[in-house]
Amino acid sequence: MSKKPLTISLVIPVYNEERHLQNCLEAVRRQRQPFHEIIVVDNNSSDATAAIIRQFPEIKLLHEAKQGVVHARTTGFNAATGEIIARIDGDTIVPPDWSSTLQTIFADNTVAAVSGKVEYYDMAADRLFNRIDLFFRRYFARVLGREVALQASNMAIRRSSWHKVRQSICLSGDLHEDFDLAIHTNKAGQTVRFDERLVAGIAYRQADASFLAFCTYAWLSPKTYRMHNLKSGRYMYPVVALAITCYLLLKLLHRGYDPEIREFSWARLLTADSAMRVNPATFVD
């Protein structure tokens, strides 16, 4: 007798995502293994985000008045009823086998939470960039071990594990809420893993930020570990420094990418308008 597949609730916290949300939700709809439920939490969007969500009648739309992705995420996670709570961002594009891959990963009862490989779909030289990104994710998985971080744009956690840690998670700004969730999950004796079978496409909108904002966002990674008195965060400093050093190149590759031809375009570089994402770690009430 075959074991019944685990049920998965998908939670997507959103704030002013009208540019990307349609494609995100269309990809969610194309899953070969449908989700148990899809919950989108609107965090006071002032654009057409809510109107786009209403085009998908199968989606449960919630509102979180307290500003900040940590609050929107928590509202969605608390409302979820599936055995697994999956989480992506409003610009994430998941492949059709994403939900079934999660079921395979969580068939291992020792896994409490997981993040996977990401592929940037809005960068010139994306193949090279994705290989470099995967190299560093493998590096962090090796050196951090049990303390490996989660990435909000491509992750999932058992609902039972969420209920064990939700009272202890940090709700302040100036830290990565996904890193914080991983840290508290690990401290509760639960296993967090990196599994590159779980793949999702994401946008690299951080590159549209000013240099100061980019640096602030990047340094939040080791800072989150330091705030929890975890020395393993020291492994992140060289990688963060490299990212900051490459800021201008990353900005050029992102802003000059033409999605129509899927290549770098000087015309695009000079005319593209900014689609900068609000830093979720600092936009907190």
Q: What is the pLDDT of residues 72-127, one digit of tens each?
A: 999 999 999 999 999 999 999 999 999 999 999 999 999 999 999 999 999 999 99
Q: What CATH number is given for 8-204 in this structure?
A: 3.90.550.10
Per-residue pLDDT reduced to its tens digit, 142-178: 999 999 999 999 999 999 999 999 999 998 878 999 9
List phi, psi (to 5°) of 273. -90, 160
Q: Is 70 helix (H, G, I), strand (E, B) or coil?
A: helix
- Which residues, at least 6 apart from 266, have a Cβ–Cβ distance to it below 8 Å? 256
> pTM to 2 decimals?
0.93
Give the chain's length.
285
- Which residues, at least 6 apart from 284, have a Cβ–Cβ distance to it below 8 Å? 67, 68, 69, 70, 71, 171, 172, 173
Closest CA to 259 of 120, 154, 89, 104: 120
Per-residue pLDDT reduced to its tens digit, 33-66: 999 999 999 999 999 999 999 999 999 999 999 9
Cα gap 207→123, rounded to integer Å: 10
Cα gap 237→219, rounded to integer Å: 8
Do residues 49 and 20 lie in contact, with contact meaning Cβ atoms separated by under 8 Å?
Answer: no
Per-residue pLDDT reduced to its tens digit, 173-218: 789 999 999 999 999 999 999 999 999 999 998 888 899 999 999 9
Sequence spans of domains, the chain: 8-204
